[in-house]
Homo-oligomer: A and B are copies of this chain.
Amino acid sequence: MTTNTKTPAAVLPLNSILSGDCIEAMRALPDACVDLIFADPPYNLQLKGTLHRPNNTQVDACDDHWDQFDSFRAYDEFTRAWLAEARRLLKPDGALWVIGSYHNIFRVGAELQNQGFWILNDVVWRKSNPMPNFRGKRLTNAHETMIWASRDEGAKYTFNYEALKELNDGVQMRSDWVIPICNGGERLKDDKGDKAHPTQKPEALLHRILVGCTKPGDVVLDPFFGTGTTGAVAKMLGRDWIGIEREEAYRKVAEKRLSKVRRFDKTALEVTQSKRAEPRVPFGQLVERGMLRPGEMLVSPRGQMAKVRADGTLIADDVKGSIHKVGATLEGAPSCNGWTYWHFRRDGKTVSIDVLRQQIRAEMGR
């Protein structure tokens, strides 16, 4: 695979399901074309005939250690191949989510790290209604594990912190998510009324992932598309999606499902923004506009004083510099947000200078 077989992004097969083996299908896509990948790979180590040893002989059912080892090796090879393609398709600041159980997740996680992905969190899907352990020989297997990883260490991955915090009743979202398994009306059935897919994931899971880790208009790839939960939620949320699925029966169910999905209206898609996303206002503008006068004194919560200078810096004793630097120095702190630290007096009341910044931002919005 060379990197000069690029296809213009304009011809990406957006919002469609590709048929065929996921590794082959990924090879036909250009480098760095997707923002997020959600992957729910098979974890049956025998993979029902889909797994082959490196010499192309088929792995069959086994229970002794050598065969077990062979089976692990074949699974590792499969994992290495699809993860490498997934990595190639990700934009530099893209990220990957992968879900699995104890049968496969340790192998997937180790290979992720080996390839240079940078794990951001492991997340536990805590099932509120799991299937019990009927034989009483083990604990109820009541969760699955997801790994969230950026393509590279230091990448500027998307994380809508405030949005997830809102989803979680005002406290920051944790790494353990309590979500019911997919059943009831959401569970897709085939013509005979049986479940259409053995491991259909709940839309709530994908909703949280896509709200938290993508922006509207992002491209989301699911190389193990199944009956299309990823595509359905992506469509609802106004994200573009690409699915890959080799089983025709699943593709058919997914096509039908997706044709019925409607995008949420635009205002419903807006999520709470971080302050970081708001425009930067230089402190000097407050002076330029006459909201604060040169020579005026600012005061900190602990009673520290500083004088405003004409160039938008402060001076306190022998300390000069920005509102942040002077605040940090006076507090002996490694850093300080001068906007919330400093206050001024008007009509006998003490007011945060951040109020003035908000006034300017409000004017900019008009």
A→B interface (CB under 8 Å): 52, 56, 63, 65, 68-69, 72, 101-103, 105-110, 112-114, 116, 119-124, 126, 130, 132-133, 136-143, 145, 147-148, 153-154, 159, 161-162, 164, 171-176, 274, 331, 333-336, 366
Contacts and interface: CB of A to CB of B under 8 A. Distances in A.
Given A101-B122, A102-B109, A132-B172, 15 more contacts: A52-B334, A56-B333, A106-B106, A106-B107, A106-B109, A106-B113, A121-B138, A122-B145, A133-B172, A136-B161, A140-B172, A140-B173, A140-B174, A142-B176, A143-B174
Contacts of A105: 106, 109, 122
Given A106-B109, A107-B113, A136-B172, A126 B123 contact: no
A110 B106 contact: yes
B140 A175 contact: yes
| Copies of this polypeptide in the complex | 2
A248 to B, nearest CB: 33
Contacts of A110: 106-107, 109-110
Contacts of A72: 113-114
Given A114-B72, A116-B68, A334 B174 contact: no
Contacts of A108: 106
Given A124-B176, A138-B121, A161-B136, A65 B116 contact: yes
Nearest to A157: B137
A109 B336 CA distance: 43
A331 B132 CA distance: 24
Nearest to A177: B139
Given A68-B116, A114-B69, A124-B124, A139 B56 contact: no
A212 to B, nearest CB: 8
Which has the most chain B C-beta neighbours within 10 Å: A109, A122, A140? Answer: A122
A136 to B, nearest CB: 4
Contacts of A109: 102, 105-107, 109-110
Contacts of A143: 122, 124, 174-176
Nearest to A331: B56
A148 B116 CA distance: 28
B106 A121 contact: no
Given A69-B114, A102-B122, A333-B56, A175 B139 contact: yes
Given A56-B334, A147-B102, A171-B366, A138 B116 contact: no
Given A116-B65, A116-B68, A124-B124, A141 B56 contact: no
B173 A139 contact: yes
A124 B138 CA distance: 14
Contacts of A336: 56
Nearest to A65: B116
Contacts of A334: 52, 56
A95 to B, nearest CB: 11
A350 to B, nearest CB: 21
A143 to B, nearest CB: 5
A83 to B, nearest CB: 13
B126 A176 contact: yes
A250 to B, nearest CB: 28
